[in-house]
Amino acid sequence: MDKYVRRKGHQSPLRSAAFTSAYFISLAAGWFVDAWDPASCWNCSAANNPDYFQESSIWPHTVRFISNYLPAGLAVFAGSAAVAYLLPVQRRSAGPRQTRIPWRLLSRLCVVVWGVSTLSGFFFDVEASQQFKLGIICWSLYGTFAYYARRISAPSLSTVLSEDQRSPVLYLRPFEQEDEIFTGVSIDQLRELEIPVRNPRAFRHGVTVEEYFAVAIRRLVGPFIALGDPQDSIPPGGAARDYMDDESWRQKFRELAARSAFIIMRPGDSDNLRWELVYIRDAGLCPKLMIVIPPLRRLLDRIGGDRIGMLFDSTTKDWSKFTMVANSIALAAGEFPGPGSVVTFDVTGEALTIAQGATKPEDYVEAILAHLARECIPEGSRKVG
């Protein structure tokens, strides 16, 4: 439902919070209904009520619990689905993003709440475990709200290009893939990527393509830029964006593609992405196109991450989709190159794997720069149609 609503253009961070709340409400409703059933025994022990805990009663109790739990839980689910279905399609808009939500104030309020609760717990002898749990919640919310505040105040594409005269790196992706996890990183790596810790208790933390590459690209190459989704509520973290209207984004893309040092994308498919790839092919920019494959995912990336998307690795599936798109426009993508790879194309459209086994953003970027240096591809020298 969350993805369905996002496709309708409702991309506020509150969207995910609303559906998460609905999920927990559905769980609570099921348990609440079962607790009110006189035949259920929530507070009794086996010693005090041996008849209830007979082996022959296990299946009847299970059936009773399911019959109580499912209707309430499904009712909340159905209500959420109805709301998602009835929401109108959000209007697309160009220009800078604006928000009425005071994210920076909310982040500071989380710190205040944590401080007051800690002092209150000390004076009123609250258990340390309870204070710790509240502290985790406060700092998780602080990290999230502070990140949103930084994203809404991030400089635009036009601003970063005027302030940094180096050749930029252009980021391509289907808009519906923007929130998808690229890989998992540790807390120390989050700090290196300049991303606040959003879940202090997670072993690994999911990051998107642009979150993963933004710092390395800005340090080693130049500005990291993208054309924004006109239905964004706030800019995603990573690349600087300008938001164009439906009539002018193609011309802006042509200018940025010609100016860029290289173009980076993760395998994917959409109508606009297909048009961009066709233009890249026709304009002779294929040697600038760099397809990045996520690093090999460790077990902890699947069990300890803070986003459900990390449980499902769609890398090979995405490559298959991209291969079909590439082949349909005379780009020979070839076989899946393996985790941590970078694939580019020569002027004839044949795929070239220029790196494999990369584990850090710098590994990818340095391999790309080394390849461009070997091929002697001057920035902006390709034909532009």
Structure tokens that stand for 43 in this block = 């507070």
pLDDT of 309: 42
pLDDT of 43: 65
Is the pLDDT reported for residue 108 higher than 50?
yes
> Which residue would you say has higher pLDDT here, 161 or 60?
161
Structure tokens that stand for 142 in this block = 């602080």
Cα–Cα distance, 71 to 39 (Å, whole number): 17
pTM for the model stands at 0.77
Which phi and psi angles does 362 have, rounded to 5°?
A: -65, -35
pLDDT of 27: 84
Q: What is the mean pLDDT of the chain?
A: 84
pLDDT band per the 50, 70, 90 thresholds, residue 298:
low
53-82 mean pLDDT: 84
Q: Beta strands 205-207 and 169-172: pairing type?
A: unpaired
Phi-psi map region of 125: left, alpha, beta (phi>0 left; psi -120 to 50 alpha): left
Per the document, the length of the chain is 385
Structure tokens that stand for 343 in this block = 């694939």
Cα–Cα distance, 343 to 347 (Å, whole number): 14
Beta bridge partners of 276: none
Sequence letter at residue 355: A
Cα–Cα distance, 222 to 164 (Å, whole number): 7
370-377 mean pLDDT: 81
- Percentage of the chain surpassing pLDDT 70? 91
Distance (Å) of CA 280 to CA 111, 292, 333, 347: 48, 17, 14, 11
Q: Which of 95-99, 127-131, 300-304 has the lowest mean pLDDT?
A: 300-304
Q: Beta strands 224-227 and 205-207: pairing type?
A: unpaired
Is the pLDDT reported for residue 50 higher than 50?
yes
Is the pLDDT reported for residue 258 higher than 90?
yes
Which phi and psi angles does 192 have, rounded to 5°?
A: -65, -35
Is the pLDDT reported for residue 304 higher than 50?
no
- Percentage of the chain surpassing pLDDT 90? 32
pLDDT of 299: 53
pLDDT of 311: 44
pLDDT band per the 50, 70, 90 thresholds, residue 353:
very high
Distance (Å) of CA 376 to CA 288, 349, 369: 11, 18, 10
Decide: 321 and 264 in contact? Cβ < 8 Å. Answer: no
Q: Which DSSP string do the residues of 136-157 spell out, in sequence order?
A: HHHHHHHHHHHHHHHHHTPPPH
Q: Which of 136-140, 181-185, 288-292, 297-301 has the lowest mean pLDDT?
A: 297-301
Is the pLDDT reported for residue 296 higher than 60?
yes
183-197 mean pLDDT: 87
Q: Which DSSP string do the residues of 85-137 spell out, in sequence order?
A: HHSPPPPP--S----SS-HHHHHHHHHHHHHHHHHHHHHTT--HHHHHHHHHH
Cα–Cα distance, 359 to 301 (Å, whole number): 13
pLDDT of 42: 67
Beta bridge partners of 172: 265
pLDDT band per the 50, 70, 90 thresholds, residue 208:
very high
114-131 mean pLDDT: 81
128-135 mean pLDDT: 80
